[in-house]
Amino acid sequence: MALHGDSIKREDRLRNCFGDGPVGWINGGDAAEVAVAALLHPERFNGPVCYPTGSEWLNHHDIAEILTEELGRRVEFRPVSRSEWRQELIDLAEANPGGVVNTAMAGHISNVGEAVAARGAPPADSAALSALIGRAPVLLRDFIRDNRLIFESTQ
């Protein structure tokens, strides 16, 4: 939620260019553990390249609804163009130097979002992710509950 925490906090909005289709949501810590597992347990992997599909297959309207339920205030998803989201991410990176989002990431993730919107994303596979990291993955709802302060409104 590093990409969206600021807009959720300030505007109760989740914006990106991934479109209306579902994507495989993966917790950042789980993604990091995939990398660690690749180093420590290469036998868990089928080849030299791994594309973990996430723990839950959710569209961004679903994500906004989960945020609404957990935060107790209406959060909406608003799709935007690739260039608009890229600029928002660049602005976020420039406002928070050294933060999670940087200008190179802004270009990369906005291009990925546009590609996913055009072609779709593979379904999430929680069991496959669990096999890679050696435990149950973190679900979005649990992440929000555990990190509520990231999303607390500044209004």
Token pair 């609404």 in the structure block, residue: 68
How confident is the model over 131-150, as a mean pLDDT?
94
Q: Are 76 and 62 in contact (CB under 8 A)?
A: no
Sign, CA dihedral 13-14-17-22, equals negative
**72 belongs to a structural domain:** yes
Question: What is the average pLDDT across 115-133?
Answer: 94
Residue 155 has pLDDT above 70, yes or no: no
- Domain span at residue 13? 5-25+57-124+138-151
- Alpha-carbon 22 to chain mean position: 12
Quick check: is 91 in a domain? yes
Report the chain's mean pLDDT, rounded to a whole number: 92
Give residue-wise pLDDT tens across range 60-78.
999 999 999 999 999 999 9
pLDDT category at 150 given cuts 50, 70, 90 is confident
**Residue 132 domain flag:** no
Return the H-helix or E-strand segment holding 31. Answer: helix 28-40
More confident residue, 112 or 99: 112
Q: What is the tens place of the pLDDT at every residue in 79-105?
A: 999 999 999 999 999 998 988 889 999
Q: What is the pLDDT of residue 99?
A: 86
Task: Specify burial of residue 129 (Cβ count, 10 A radius: 0-12, 13-18, 19+).
Answer: buried
* 16 in a structural domain: yes
Confidence of residue 154 (pLDDT cuts 50, 70, 90): low
Q: Tell me the C-alpha distance between 24 and 106, whole Å.
A: 19
For 69, the token pair is 């339920």
Position 41 in a domain: no
Identity of residue 41: H
Q: For residues 123 and 24, is the Cβ–Cβ distance under 8 A? A: yes
Return the CATH number at 12: 3.90.25.10
Domain count along the chain: 1
Q: Which residues contact 2 (CB under 8 A, 6 or more apart)?
A: 28, 99, 100, 101
Q: Quick one: average pLDDT of 16-34? A: 94
Q: Assess if residue 47 is contained within a domain.
A: no
Give dist(CA 74, CA 137) in Å, integer.
27
> What was the pLDDT predicted at 1?
66
Amino acid occupying residue 74: R
Residue 45 belongs to a domain = no
Q: Is 13 within a domain?
A: yes
Q: Tell me the C-alpha distance between 1 and 24, whole Å.
A: 14
